[in-house]
Amino acid sequence: MHSKLGAAILAAACILAFASCGSGGSSEIKIGNINPVTGEAASFGASTKNGAAMAADEWNAAGGVLGKKIKLVYADDKGDPAEGAAVFTKMIQQDKVAAILGGITSRVALAGAPIAQAAKVPMLTPTATNEKVTQVGDYVFRSCFIDSFQGTIAAKYAANELKAAKAAIIFDVGSDYSKGLAENFTAVFEQGGGKIVAAEAHPSGATDFKAQLTKIVQAKPEVLYVPDFYNDVGLIAKQARELGFKGAMVGVDGWDSPELVKIAGDAIEGGVFTNHYSKDDSRPVVQDFVKRYQEKYKSDPDALAALAYDGANILFDAIKRAGKTDAAAIRDALQATDSDGVIGKITYDANRNPIKSAVIVEIKDGKQVYKTTVNP
């Protein structure tokens, strides 16, 4: 994996001279859309692909951007960094895209960002929350909040709302996303006077977590923080309950999939997690989006779909405000974004991270229930 990734990143140097504005004299503007439609994050990829496609369809129905149709050029990164680096390179070198919407997971975004930055092609990841992603350079943006914000909210919720003095953490050691959240939660929980009584790592792709969970249960935490994706969380919840853990489970936006309850069943009941939006938010812009998404896809939009929808709208609007598909102009327009969309009001800080709100969601009677909005 590492040799493939290194080769793909080195290839970015070769494409600097060939990076295209993505439109030329054609009647369309090509935008790369990179999603994990296969692999362990496939549920996320399906949602983000739908959200971006819905935004593009709406812009095209209204006349497109700069008098041209938006053409989304799709690629499957399979949730794998090496595959992600390869498709980022292909998008820029062969497809000549004007900008890239993706990757979706933090580890793929971290692989693709250096390639986009080297080629000076604007990149907006809708969902990669690891802080390091936008630190790569000034052509890299996102439409989601970052892990330090998410970890802070979860830690304060555990301490203040759940009244927990002792917490444990289980995280994926192979995931920058999971590790970063574990670190952020730990720092804030301990600063507030709480104690982390156990912190156990598991390898990526694991299905048996009983060794780690046995140690956690023995430490008698009141809260178990699980900064992981839904497929792992479902198994962790079931195995934790089987081993006798009776405390509260607190999680992250990676929980946001209908597959979670299917895997975990009653084991995840009462769990709460931080998220970017809730379909039950009463704001008219949210309810209008939910209705249109349901009509188009015959399903409820999760946060991943909302983030991709708003992220695509932010990118398309930046191209419109730039007045051309010049990369530097798009970058500058992105930085000047002032959006009030489905996922809330967004402006960008100096590191191209959105200043936006978060929500707390509870799993109740097998369904997601909106609890509250937390502003930055």
Domain housing 66: 2-145+284-357
Q: Which amino acid is at 57?
A: D
Q: Which residues of the chain have pLDDT under 70?
A: 1-25
Asked if residue 226 lies in contact with residue 250, where contact means CB atoms within 8 angstroms, the answer is yes
Q: Residue 325: CB partners within 8 Å, gap ≥ 6?
A: 21, 22, 23, 29, 66, 98, 319
Question: How many residues are there in the chain?
Answer: 376
pLDDT digits 0-9 by tens, 348-373: 999 999 988 899 999 999 999 999 88
Among 10, 92, 52, smallest CA distance to 307 is for 52
pLDDT of residue 4: 44
Token code pair at residue 29: 């503007």
Q: Name residue 99's beta-bridge partners.
A: 31
Residue 240 lies in a domain: yes
Residue 177 lies in a domain: yes
Q: Do 138 and 12 fall into the same domain?
A: yes
Q: Do 295 and 231 fall into the same domain?
A: no
| Domain final position from 275, 300, 315 | 275
Residue 365 lies in a domain: no
Q: Do 130 and 155 fall into the same domain?
A: no
Q: Do 242 and 347 fall into the same domain?
A: no
Residue 262 lies in a domain: yes
Q: Name residue 345's beta-bridge partners.
A: 340
Q: Do 20 and 93 fall into the same domain?
A: yes
> Exposure of 318 by Cβ count < 10 A (0-12 exposed, 13-18 middle, 19+ buried)?
buried
pLDDT of residue 12: 44
Helices (H), 94-229: 106-119, 132-135, 147-156, 176-191, 210-218
The total domain count for the chain is 2
Q: Do 15 and 111 fall into the same domain?
A: yes
The span from the CA of 8 to the CA of 13, in Å, is 10
Q: Do 263 and 175 fall into the same domain?
A: yes
pLDDT digits 0-9 by tens, 170-192: 999 998 889 999 999 999 999 99
pLDDT of residue 249: 98
Token code pair at residue 368: 């997601």
Residue 369 lies in a domain: no
Among 222, 247, 216, 260, smallest CA distance to 361 is for 260
Residue 375 lies in a domain: no
Q: Do 288 and 229 fall into the same domain?
A: no
Q: Do 153 and 263 fall into the same domain?
A: yes
The span from the CA of 139 to the CA of 120, in Å, is 6
pLDDT of residue 176: 84
| Domain final position from 275, 299, 323 | 275
Q: What is the CATH number of the domain that holds 156?
A: 3.40.50.2300
